[in-house]
Amino acid sequence: MKIMVIGASGALGTAVSAELSARHETVAIGRTSGDFHADMRELTSLRTMFQKVGKVDAIVCTAGSVHFGPWSELTPEKFELGLRDKLMGQVNVVLAGQEFLHDGGSFTLTSGILSEDPIRYGVAASLVNGALESFVRGAAIELARGLRINAVSPTVIEESMSSFGPYFRGYKPVPASHAALAYSKSVEGKQTGLAIVAPDCI
């Protein structure tokens, strides 16, 4: 298969690319790095990139930012970061990318454990992750041409503990290479409309 990985330069994206490239051709996409560039917050940017890459068999997205911080300091602008970047960015990937998938192709988006297991300072992430998983379930029953869509819900990634470790006390981090297995399950399987919990694939 020819598989596009959006966010391929991050800790998780690098591991997903390594996992999939062992068996398939992968194309790395980033905002400023990778084989091709796109800003997933902008439909025009995504469409231009998809036109350059051409048709693919699967589109994987591991990109997206959200705000972490105490409830007392949250503002609409801080919620907007995750809503515009991680949530609508990935929705845009599906809207722009569907015509560039071969029949029977798949989308794999990235949500996260906070959709089901909230933490202090993580309410903005819980909002975005939960919305993404609801979007996946809804889109799965309407996508045409046999296209599939799933989300992977990873726990905190071992390689990202220096940045996110203080927020995830009591969580057991997993290596990005273990979380990457869930993306293979989505891309190479037949499931659709699921939130695949990454540790379940270890």
Question: How does pLDDT run along the chain (202 residues), one tens digit per residue?
Answer: 999 999 999 999 999 999 999 999 999 999 999 999 999 999 999 999 999 999 999 999 999 999 999 999 999 999 999 999 999 999 999 999 999 999 999 999 999 999 999 999 999 999 999 999 999 999 999 999 999 999 999 999 999 999 898 999 999 899 999 999 999 999 999 999 999 998 776 5
pLDDT at site 131: 98
CA distance 182 to 159: 17
- Residue ranges of domains in the chain: 2-201
Contact by Cβ (8 Å): 21, 1: no
pLDDT of residue 200: 74
Whole-number pLDDT of residue 202? 53
Q: Alpha-carbon distance 109 to 174, whole Å?
A: 19
Q: Angle CA(39)–CA(137)–CA(99) in degrees, nearest 5?
A: 45
**pLDDT above 70: percentage of residues in the chain:** 99
CA distance 188 to 49: 24
Class of domain 2-201: alpha beta
How much is the pTM? 0.96
**Do the beta carbons of residue 51 and residue 97 sit within 8 Å?**
no
List the beta bridge partners of residue 106: 58, 148
